[in-house]
Amino acid sequence: MNLDEPVPEPTPEPVRWTPRTYLLLGFGAGLAVLSVAVRNPVPLFAGLPFLLAPVLAGLRVPGGLAEVDLSWQSGGLSSEVVVTGVLRGRFGGASRDVGVVMPAVDGVTELAPIRYARGPTEVRFTLRWRLHEPSILTVPAPRVVLRDPLGLTERTLEGARPDLRLERYPPGLQRSASLRLQRTIPAPGESRSRTIGASGEFFGLRVAMPGEPPRRINWRASARAGRLLANDYQLERTGDLVVVLDVRPSEFGPEFDERILGVARAAVYGIAEAFLRNKVRIGFASFGEFVEAVPLSTGRVHRVRLLRAILASRRAEVAGPAERCALGLRRFYRPGVTVLVVSSWAGDPGFDLLPYIRRQGFPVVLLSPSPLPMRERTGGLDPADEPIAVRLERLERRVRLADLWVHGPVVDWDDYWTLEPLARVLRRPAYRRVS
Amino acid sequence: MSAPSERSERGGGFATTALFAFAAGLFGLVGGLPGFAGPAVGIGGVVVSSVWRGQRATRGGWRTAFSVAPALLAIAVLALTAPPVDAAELFGGLTGLSFLLWLADDPARASGGGRRAAPTIALAALAVGLAWAISLSLPTGSAEIGVAAGLLTAAILLLAILLGRPQALVTRTGPNA
């Protein structure tokens, strides 16, 4: 390669008409044709600006090279999402003509129009959305365009645009730091000392809380770290947890299954996050036709591994038998570990996972996302009859779920924005006891 | 580097809306609809389009593009019912031009769009003015005007087809040209 040879400059993105241009051109041409048809010059005069404007607007689009990078993040609480982004780089024109075109995002409603704050070298924008249900979404990067002042022609600007991960799950478990699960199996390498005190085996160090008793402070470790650290004992640790996500197809159809699976995925991720914060070992398995499992572990790397596995769990085309799920869990996990099954099932008894998992020696809890909130106002019922129908459906579902209580606690989850019913079940003494 | 202003930059667009409504009202007055039906159609179209535009979603696509439809419909009705007189021709052209100004002053975009679009609209206004002056000063029958209109339409459509790739028009290149 000859170094003296000038590097070819990349060409700017082509200028394109917007849909509005075609509308105006068609309107202007239509008026001109009608003017000839009715032998009246007035429609021609009225249509002349519409025919000329797109051509003149095309002449005014700056053709400079542009490279605009996007950095954006999401905020807000519960179902409210505030997306803020910053565009930086070479706009190839005035920043006031730069706009953001968001692709359609399923499960999201816009609350307010996009707002911009523009400077000479950067453009900030804010979007306000409402999520229909808890979900983990990947929002594709928006198109950044430079438009003429009339909005008739536009040029897409290139640049680095990462997708945005939107994670919204019920926040209830985040506040429930006191949740303790039954410790039914020893941790790997764990052997009980015969000289343990009242608090049990030493587990690790943690940051001392205000009002921590002096005997709990690890003074040597605190001196090394320069801040107060306290000892954490095995007895205070919670047990391990395996979350099983049921991705088998249901009678409601693929579209509905995907929607409720989105809620279930968000719940699983929220639960995993909450327990991982307490250094709990978490496993994850999805069951469609076969079991796909992530072994028990904890830590930041495991969090990423779990998130990937949760996002990869898709609705299966074929439903595997419930026994297969239980046997599969037995292959991946030791019997005795608490299993949380997330399944919206409430129908055919042969489809139910709980008795089979229970028989393999796993204490089991069922979290069942109710399909009823999603099916409200979809039956074409009279508004007066709708509450009665919903109530009857809810009662029928409760009766079906009540049969499952013989195998373990069952949580009928019909308010997607809180996991307090599950937290209440897990706070019960049976789930706090250490074996 | 100065930080961008955090205030809402959405312009009101009241002045251009009022101007558009005024032009459409006058076009309706000189038009062929009986009584005050003409101004009512013109102003009504402008108001509906303005409200639609104010309430529209932020995403691109048909919802954004077609908020102009009521105003266009009103202009079409007024133009087709107007008698072939000089005043109607003038106000027809002015209504089209005020529509472009109203379009540029989009409240969803940076304020001052009308001012920035002024050079574009001025060129269109020049063309409309020339055409009206020619039609006013040259004594012609309606048949000749029809032929001229057809030829003009064909020329503009041909130009639009040739410029189907509007980048052909862009001459300025280079970093931040």
The ipTM, to two decimals, is 0.79
Query: First-to-last CA distance in chain B?
Result: 20
- Partners of A91 on chain B (C-beta within 8 Å) are 176
User: Which of A196-200, A422-426, B10-14, B61-65 has maximum average pLDDT?
Assistant: A422-426
Tell me whether A106 touches chain B (CB under 8 Å): no
Mean pLDDT of A214-234: 87
Residue A58, pLDDT > 60, answer yes
A114/B4 Cα distance (integer angstroms): 16
Query: Which residues, given as ranges, of chain B have pLDDT below 70?
Result: 1-12, 56-65, 138-151, 153-177
Q: Give the pLDDT confidence score for residue A172 in this predicted structure.
A: 65
pLDDT of residue A363: 85
Query: Is B34 within a domain?
Result: yes
Lowest-pLDDT range of A112-116, A246-250, B136-140: B136-140
- Per the domain annotation, does B20 fall within a domain? yes
| B163, part of any domain | no
Distance (Å, whole) CA B107 – CA B14: 10
Pairing of strands A15-17, A153-156: antiparallel
A interface mutation test: which of B109, B135, B162 has the most A CBs within 10 A?
A: B109
Q: Do A23 and B68 touch (CB under 8 A)?
A: yes
> Residue B144's closest chain A neighbor by CA?
A39
Of A111, A170, A102, the C-alpha closest to A136 is A170
| pLDDT higher at A264 or A66 | A264
Please judge whether A46 and B96 are an interchain contact, meaning their C-beta atoms are less than 8 angstroms apart. yes
Return the higher-pLDDT residue of A428 and A107.
A107
Q: In chain A, what percentage of residues exceed pLDDT 90?
A: 14
Question: Are A207 and A305 in contact, with CB atoms under 8 Å apart?
Answer: no
Nearest to A120 among B2, B88, B119 (CB): B2
Closest partner CB to B173 (pick from A28, A54, A64): A64
CA distance A242 to A173: 16
d(CA B109, CA A67) in angstroms, rounded, equals: 21
The alpha carbon torsion through A349, A350, A354, A360 (nearest 10 deg) reads 150
Report pLDDT for A348. Answer: 66
Mean pLDDT of A74-102: 85
- Which of the given ranges, A144-158, A201-215, A236-250, B90-104, has the highest pLDDT on average? B90-104
Do A61 and B100 count as a contact with CB atoms less than 8 A apart? Answer: no
Q: Under CATH, which architecture does the A67-169 domain have?
A: Sandwich (2.60)
**pLDDT tens string A348-404:** 666 688 889 988 888 888 898 888 887 766 666 677 777 888 888 888 888 888 888
- Chain B hits for A35, CB-CB cut-off 8 Å, are 146, 149, 153
Cβ atoms within 10 Å of B16's Cβ, excluding its own: 22
Nearest residue of B to residue A127, measured between CA atoms: B58
Question: Which among B8, B80, B171 has the least Cβ separation from residue A43?
Answer: B80
- The CA-based diameter of chain A, rounded to the nearest angstrom, is 108
In the structure, what pLDDT confidence band is assigned to residue A17 with cuts at 50, 70 and 90?
confident
Look at strands A122-131 and A108-118 and give their pairing: antiparallel
pTM above 0.80, yes or no: no
Q: What is the per-residue pLDDT for A234?
A: 63
Contacts of residue A44, defined as CB under 8 A and 6 or more positions apart, other chains included, come to A31, A32, A35, A36, B145, B149, B152, B153
Nearest CB to A33; choose among B89, B153, B170: B153
pLDDT in tens, A130-142: 888 888 888 888 8
Percent of chain A whose predicted confidence (pLDDT) is above 70: 83
Chain B residue numbers touching A65 (CB-CB < 8 A)? 173-177
Task: Check CB contact under 8 Å for A113 and B61.
Answer: no
Tally of domains in chain B: 1
Which domain, by its residues, includes B43? 14-138
**Who wins on pLDDT, A247 or B132?**
A247
Does A67-169 match A173-179+239-431 in CATH topology?
no
Kindly determine whether residue B117 and residue A148, on different chains, have CB atoms separated by under 8 Å: yes
In the prediction, which pLDDT does B43 show? 93
Asked if A54 and B100 count as a contact pair (C-beta separation under 8 A), the reply is no
Substitution target from B7, B66, B80 for chain A, most A beta carbons within 10 A: B80
A-B contacts (CB, under 8 Å) = 254
Interface mutation vs chain B, best among A17, A35, A38, A42, most B CBs within 10 Å: A42
Which of A7, A21, A44 is best to mutate for the B interface (most B CBs within 10 A)?
A: A44
Nearest beta carbon to residue A118 from set B78, B110, B167: B110
Q: What is the mean pLDDT of chain A?
A: 81
Q: Are A29 and B155 in contact (CB under 8 A)?
A: no
Mean pLDDT of A116-128: 87
Residues A168 and A79: beta-carbon distance below 8 Å: yes
Task: List helix spans (H) across B31-171.
Answer: 37-55, 62-65, 69-81, 86-104, 113-116, 118-137, 142-162
What pLDDT does A300 receive? 87
Q: What are the residue boundaries of the structural domains of chain A, listed by start?
A: 15-59, 67-169, 173-179+239-431, 202-236
pLDDT band at A185; cut points 50, 70, 90 = low
Query: What's the whole-number mean pLDDT along residues A98-116?
Result: 83
Question: Tokens 């600007």 — which residue?
Answer: A157
pLDDT of res. A292? 93
Name the residue with higher pLDDT: A373 or A223: A223
Q: What would be the CATH architecture of the domain defined by A173-179+239-431?
A: 3-Layer(aba) Sandwich (3.40)
Q: What are phi and psi of B58, to 5 degrees?
A: -85, -20
The mean pLDDT value for A182-186 works out to 56
To the nearest whole Å, the CA of B94 is away from the closest chain A CA by 8
Distance of alpha carbon A280 from alpha carbon A338, whole angstroms: 12
